[in-house]
Amino acid sequence: QYLIINFLETPVLAFILAFLVKFYNTDISNKVGYKYFENENLSAYILMGVVIALFVGLTVSAEEIIKDRRIQKRESFLNLSKGSYISSKITIMFTLSAIQTATFVVISNTMLGIQGMYLDYWMVLFTTSCFANMLGLNISASFNSAITIYILIPFLIIPQLILSGVIVKFEKLNPVISSETSVPMAGEVMASRWAFEALAVNQYKNNAYQKPLYKLEKTKSVADYLKNLWLPILRAKLDACINNYPYQYPLQKKEFEYNLKLLKSEIEFRNKKSAVKFNEVESITEANFNAELIKKLKNYFDEFGGFQMRKYNNAVKEEEAIINKLTFTDSQREAYAKLKEQSDNENLNQLVRNSNDFTKVIESEGKIIQRVDPIYNDPDRERFLRSHFFAPRKVIFGRYFDTYWVNICVIWIMSIILIFTLYFNTLKKLLDSFEAISDRIKHLRKKGAEKIKKTAKVEPVS
């Protein structure tokens, strides 16, 4: 019964989920029926797939160790290998998770028409389920009641859901824990965040339609952002500095110093990435703020804007050449249109490009922060692993690596850490120490109460 339920659980959930989210317009104008491109529930499907992998992985492993307490006690008396016992449990759980996630992906992806991504989805969901297996084995080894464990499971799943970056955007969280420049630490410790980002980024970048055009689309996006969003802000900051200098009031001084500092930091940052550089960054100070510096900055802005325009136009020409080559004949045009419908998804495009957010750029903590097109925005090389959500690449020791593989590795590292905590009973020892502290506090309170009671009984001396 145990095996039958576990093997049938994910196929049934896959069918139910895919059936429910398989949306298509029933208007009379729709002569085709379901189109993958127009399915508005793809991002919800990816998130629920991750949640199902976590939930199933947890429930499968939650009772694996607690039911073996007598066996563990006997083996400890016989000095049998604890590592062998744990490795046997891990092997069984991982094998079961591999089968469960494979059946889930085959059924649900086929029903929704997600083409060419079976192995990609399975790898992420299997990795996520293995993490859940290790989490389940840890709580199974740490608590004394199966009821307690199953009560605890929702408390482990719900934070994974809320802090996945989908239900509530990371930048929309409470400012106490959120960050404008990167995923907050509360999100970084959630396996769901790494899994969802890996699937969403990979689905967008590497589908059959988008893959040949991604680099050119990225070049266009970066050039467009720098020329039409970033550069106008810097021009406005320079104009504000000119209007406020020489300043007469403390408020003018404060604004002038802030704008000049922002100009310097932003230009210095762009010098690291762009072929067009401002070679006198150190001269952007109040002492050197004169007509000559203003002229140099304006010339730099003009040159930088022209360079970005040329980059954008060249990328457009290259993209048109690729598309023209693929759509040379009528049959090729028809096949290309069909490829877009079968491989690209509008809902996912809007999510990873943040196109539904009217705020394209914000200014915070003396920095200009890009909100539009996070899928085309690489994080700074100086940042180790940390990045904004839906970054196409992550930085490891100054080198860029694809987000898909980095995120999978992060989840496996989290699972390996849980293997060590399971072997050394870290969670159980932590809970026992809390219990000991609690008992000690109760004992001291009881002792103090008894002392007060005895003191109160003593008759006062007249």
pLDDT along the chain (462 residues), means of 10: 86 97 85 90 97 95 86 79 92 96 97 95 98 96 88 93 93 89 94 98 96 96 97 96 89 93 95 92 94 96 97 97 93 94 95 93 91 96 92 95 98 97 92 86 83 68 53
**Assigned token pair, 170:** 């990371």
Phi-psi region of 398 (alpha: psi -120 to 50; beta: other; left: phi over 0): left
What was the pLDDT predicted at 392?
A: 97
The Cβ of residue 461 has, within 10 Å, a number of other Cβ atoms equal to: 4
Burial of 344 (0-12, 13-18, 19+ CB in 10 A): middle
Distance CA 123, CA 50 (A): 11
Distance CA 408, CA 406 (A): 5
Distance CA 45, CA 41 (A): 6
Q: For 365-404, what is the HEC assignment?
A: CCEEEECCCHHHCCCCCCCCCCCCCCCCEEEECCEEEEHH
Distance CA 166, CA 352 (A): 11
CA angle 370, 373, 379 (to 5 degrees): 60
Give the residue from 1, 43, 66, 30 showing the smallest Cα distance to 345.
Answer: 43
What was the pLDDT predicted at 28?
A: 76
What was the pLDDT predicted at 75?
A: 80
8 A C-beta contact, residue 376 and residue 201:
no
* Residues found in the chain: 462
What was the pLDDT predicted at 248?
A: 84
CA distance from start to end of the chain: 80
Burial of 129 (0-12, 13-18, 19+ CB in 10 A): buried
DSSP structure string for 119-152: HHHHHHHHHHHHHHHHHHHHHHHH-S-HHHHHHH
Instruction: Kindly tell me the number of DSSP H helices and DSSP E strands found in the chain.
Output: 16, 4
Q: Which residue has 């266009």 as its token pair?
A: 220
If you ran DSSP here, which 8-state letter would residue 460 be given?
A: P
What was the pLDDT predicted at 461?
A: 55
